[in-house]
Amino acid sequence: MTAPPNLDLLLKTVCSMAIDAGRIALDLRERHYETKSDRSPVTAADLACDAFITAGLQRLEIAPVISEETFDGTMDAGNASSFWLVDPLDGTKEFLKASGEFTVNIALIERSRAILGVVHAPAIGATYYAAEGVGAFKRQAEKDVPIAVRPAGLPLCFAVSRDHITADEVALTERLAPIDVVPMGSSLKFCLVAEGNADLYARYGRTREWDTAAAQCVLEGAGGFVVEIPGGERLAYGKSDLANPSFLAFGDRVAAERVLGGSLR
């Protein structure tokens, strides 16, 4: 990126792009899908949204675009200090089940940080968005409201994946009991924490950077954190294979230190 963009103005543009992509997804909603090499499903909506978003971001001429649907495992994102990360339809399994728990995710990465992020949930008409120096917001029913994490109380409220919960995550909820568990699809789990409706979200399974970048930006803009498990370092972007380690998303440091078993850095 040759010059820093106006993030406030850019955020409005990307929000509109994500909302338009969401309309495309809803228009193409169907139960037919194909299976990719990693055994995950892909639909016509995934591909149509990807083409629409990629073309729109390329027209902005700000940074190269890396998308889930076009990444072939060979691109070295670490060679670019700035790039877009796109998950055109996060939560395809929820999309196929006709639930509202799928999202369009768009993030701008600069020097390993997500500096702008939009998470749009078209089926429920909600858009979460944030940028460095701008703050974090939720748009619903044509109203834009600032969002913020909450101080953790007891019992803790834990957002967990509806489709991908692992044995480690089950063990964690048992260790922290009593605890309220909220199943949720896609990157909306981060957003629950960001808007103060949950305290924690841990993920021990496989994810890629496009799964987390936009939502991490939203959560951090709302006063939260996303750190690696173990270690507690901030989850960073631009790894050569775009693979994430296990991570913990949270709003309250005291609650997070209880999960990690030690002080955060």
How many structural domains are present in the chain? 2
Q: Beta-strand (E) ranges in 24-81?
A: 34-35, 41-42, 65-67
Tens-place pLDDT, residues 198-246:
999 999 988 999 999 999 999 999 999 999 998 889 999 999 899 999 9
Classify 166 as helix, strand or coil.
Answer: coil
Euclidean distance between CA atoms 149 and 187, whole angstroms:
16
User: What CATH number has the domain bearing residue 29?
Assistant: 3.30.540.10
Euclidean distance between CA atoms 74 and 147, whole angstroms:
37
> Structure pTM?
0.93
Helix axes 7-27, 44-60, angle to 10 degrees: 160
Q: Could you tell me if 251 and 163 lie in one domain? A: yes
- 147 and 155 in contact (C-beta within 8 Å)? no
| In a domain? residue 265 | no
Q: Could you tell me if 22 and 135 lie in one domain? A: yes
Tens-place pLDDT, residues 84-100:
999 999 988 888 888 88
Residues in CB range of 219: below 8 A, 6 or more apart = 136, 149, 190, 191, 193, 194, 225, 226, 249, 251
Identify residue 144 by its one-letter amino acid code.
Answer: D
Structural domain for 240, as ranges: 156-260
